[in-house]
Structure 1
Amino acid sequence: MTAKVIADDAEALAVATAFADEFRTGASARDAERRLPRTELDRLSDSGLLAVTVPAGHGGADVRQETLAEIFRRLASADASLAQIPQNHFVYVNVIRAQGTDRQREFFFGEVLAGRRFGNAQSEAGTRHVQDIRTRLTSRSDGSYLLSGVKHYCTGALFSDWIPVLARAEDDNLHVAYVPAGAAGLTVVDDWDGMGQRTTASGTVRLDEVTVPADRVVPHHLTFRGPQLHGAVAQLLHAAIDAGIAAGALAEAAEFVRTRSRPWFESGADTAAEDPLLVQRFGELSLKVRASEALLGVAARAVDAARDDLTDASAAEASLAVAAAKAHTATTAVEVADALFEVSGTRAALDSANLHRHWRDARTHTLHDPARWKLQHLGRYVLNGTKPPRHGLL
């Protein structure tokens, strides 16, 4: 398997823009038919776009996080499901960067540059809370491990070459085990039936005493013992997806009003696009989308600044900036996707139009983690100077 290698940030953005324009055309049909985007993902891999965060020392472009966030925003404005699938891929490339050994970095970065994809097997259902991880790595006498557990919401796993699995070792510390697709004892089940993000295949992964060599296991717990950006990077990409959903919904609403809506008779306007009340409402929605995009940019630049000089203070600022962006983009995505019907009228509710996919995607994706806790951390910092905690969701 070979893939193109993207040279720099400008090329990465150009490739993302071209794919967004192309993928937008079939997004509604893929959603309506739940047609999984294997071909589209293969094209992303072949283009080199999924390798743009590989460090320069290993042959990658090592793009800025501001660039990566914009890549996700543009892709999500076209197809939110397709954009969400590689989110975990970049998160687990980052895990290798943070805690991988030199040998692990050389191997896995080589895999990514060749076009191979990481999925994820992280979340579990039925536990006390999201960080109550019960999947276990049990050491063997030869230094390898046995991995057992059941994972849910495993976005990307069905399409991946490697499935990073979050698990606890016998000392209860968190590790990530990188398991190759097709490994004995590994089962990936396409049982995702969410109302939105329909083509992410965010189903179940079962692990029944999967053998994992020691050099495929990374000590993830060490990431959180000092200043870290793991959570900020992961959340930044989620915020970018929400910002993209909002932008896509607003653009489709505007196109619908221009081409398919009738003016309200009391407006005196010749077209719906000239109705002053609709003009006002579109201005309000545009303001919210622009504000979300601005906060996303501020957050991405804060993450970049912290990567350049990582301290407790810079990591905290990055996490808080991302929290602000995530809270705003989540609210905006749901509001704009809902307002699409308000401004477009009755015909927009026809199932054949499938405009409700924007709302379904926004409502589903924004459930990933609660925005109310982002506000808690922002408030605690403003009032009491309390730095945000070190975990993977902030």
Structure 2
Amino acid sequence: MTAHVIADDAEALAVAAGLAEAFRTEAPVRDAERRLPYAELEQLSASGLLGVTVPADHGGADVRQETLAEVFRLLASADASLAQIPQNHFVYVNVLRRQGTTEQRKFFFGEVLAGRRFGNAQSEAGTRHVQDIRTRLLPLPDGSHELTGVKHYSTGALFADWIPVLARAADDNLYVAYVPRDADGLTVVDDWDGMGQRTTASGTVRLDAVTVPADRLVPHHLTFRGPQLHGAVAQLLHAAIDAGIAGGALAEAAEFVRTKSRPWFESGVDTAAEDPLLIQRFGELDLQVRATEALLGVAARAVDAARDELTDASAAEASLAVAAAKAHTTATAVLVADALFEVSGTRAALDSLNLHRYWRDARTHTLHDPARWKIQHLGRHVLNGTRPPRHGLL
């Protein structure tokens, strides 16, 4: 595979805007028919967007996180499933940047710049909680390891060239194993049946005695022994997806009201777009979307500032800023996707129009992790000065 290499932040944003427009057209049909976006992901790979966070000394643009968040917001405004698929890709590029050896970074950053995709095999079902990882790495005499376990919600794995797998070694420390998609003993099952984000193929990954060479293991546990931005970066991209869903739903609602809605007979106006009550409601929704996008920008800039000078204080501020953004984008995405029907009227509920995909996507994606705990950490900090924990989900 060959891919374009994006030069800078401005080009990354221009490419993302162009892809968003291209992806928007068939998004309702892909969702309705659960048509998996193989062709669109090939376009995404070829565009060079997947390589924009590769460090400059490895040939990448190394864009700011503010740029990356806007890339995800643009893509999600067009198709929230497509935007979700590469989220883990960037998270695991970041893991290599933080804990990879010189040789690992050289090899995998080269793969990324060539357009190859990382999936993920992270979450597990039936465990005590999300951090209870039971997939195991067993050492072999030749220095390699054997990987065994079952992963769920493995977004991107079906489409990936490499699948980063979160697992515990014999000493119970957490590692990421970068496993090729075609490895013996690795099976990806397309059994995702979520009501929303239907085309993410977030199914099951089964690992049956998969051999992992020592140079494909990254010590992820070391990330959390000092100030870190692993969780802030991952959550920032989730927040950007929710902001994109909200903006996309608002734009869709406005277009529907302008072109398809009838005015309420008591309004005394000729078109729905002139109805003063609808105008008021759209103003309220626009205010909500503007606020959520502003918080997203503040959070992204906080992450960038912390990357430039990483300390306990800067990492904590980045995590808190992202927590505030994520809590707000969660509420906004669900609110605006629901209000789409309120302002558009009965016809908007027709299944054939598939406008409910915005609500289904918002409701599904915002379940990723609870916003109430983001607010809890904000409250602890403002009242007692308690810094957020280093667990990678904040």
- What TM-score, normalized to structure 2? 1.00
Q: Secondary structure at the match of 2:166?
A: strand
AA in 2 matched with 1:233? V
Matched residues in 1 for 2:219 and 2:141: separation?
A: 19
Matched residues in 2 for 1:7 and 1:388: separation?
A: 35
Partner residue, 2:174: 174
Partner residue, 2:352: 352
Using the TM superposition, give the Cα deviation of residue 389 of structure 1 relative to its aligned residue in structure 2, in angstroms: 0.1
Partner residue, 2:300: 300
- Map residues 132-143 of structure 1 onto 2, 5 A cutoff: 132-143=132-143
1:292-349: per-residue Cα shift (whole Å, max 9, x none)? 0000000000000000000000000000000000000000000000000000000000
Partner residue, 1:84: 84
Matched residues in 2 for 1:47 and 1:240: separation?
A: 20
1:224-279: per-residue Cα shift (whole Å, max 9, x none)? 00000000000000000000000000000000000000000011111000000000
AA in 1 matched with 2:240? A
Partner residue, 2:43: 43
Matched residues in 2 for 1:393 and 1:202: separation?
A: 19
Matched residues in 1 for 2:267 and 2:2: separation?
A: 58
Q: Which runs of 5+ in 1 are unaligned?
A: none
Partner residue, 2:206: 206
AA in 2 matched with 1:15? V
Matched residues in 2 for 1:96 and 1:322: separation?
A: 22
AA in 1 matched with 2:315? A
Using the TM superposition, give the Cα deviation of residue 151 of structure 1 relative to its aligned residue in structure 2, in angstroms: 0.1
Matched residues in 1 for 2:391 and 2:276: separation?
A: 47
Match status 1:24 vs 2:1: no
Matched residues in 1 for 2:284 and 2:138: separation?
A: 55
1:189-210: per-residue Cα shift (whole Å, max 9, x none)? 0000000000000000000000
- Map residues 143-182 of structure 1 onto 2, 5 A cutoff: 143-182=143-182
Q: Percent of aligned pairs with the same residue?
A: 86
Partner residue, 1:268: 268
Q: Secondary structure at the match of 2:26?
A: helix
Partner residue, 1:194: 194
AA in 2 matched with 1:95? V
Partner residue, 1:74: 74
AA in 1 matched with 2:84? Q
Q: Secondary structure at the match of 1:3?
A: coil
- Map residues 290-369 of structure 1 onto 2, 5 A cutoff: 290-369=290-369
Matched residues in 1 for 2:321 and 2:269: separation?
A: 43
Matched residues in 1 for 2:193 and 2:84: separation?
A: 16
Matched residues in 2 for 1:370 and 1:278: separation?
A: 32
- Map residues 95-106 of structure 1 onto 2, 5 A cutoff: 95-106=95-106
AA in 2 matched with 1:303? V
Q: Secondary structure at the match of 1:15?
A: helix
- The count of aligned residue pairs is 394
Partner residue, 1:118: 118
Partner residue, 2:229: 229
AA in 1 matched with 2:187? T
Q: Secondary structure at the match of 2:269?
A: coil
Q: Which runs of 5+ in 2 are unaligned?
A: none
AA in 1 matched with 2:310? L
Matched residues in 1 for 2:269 and 2:128: separation?
A: 57
AA in 1 matched with 2:375? L
Using the TM superposition, give the Cα deviation of residue 391 of structure 1 relative to its aligned residue in structure 2, in angstroms: 1.3
Matched residues in 2 for 1:80 and 1:51: separation?
A: 20
AA in 1 matched with 2:61? A
Using the TM superposition, give the Cα deviation of residue 374 of structure 1 relative to its aligned residue in structure 2, in angstroms: 0.1
**What root-mean-square deviation, in Å, do the aligned CA atoms of Structure 1 and Structure 2 show?**
0.3
Using the TM superposition, give the Cα deviation of residue 2 of structure 1 relative to its aligned residue in structure 2, in angstroms: 1.2
- What TM-score, normalized to structure 1? 1.00
AA in 2 matched with 1:252? E
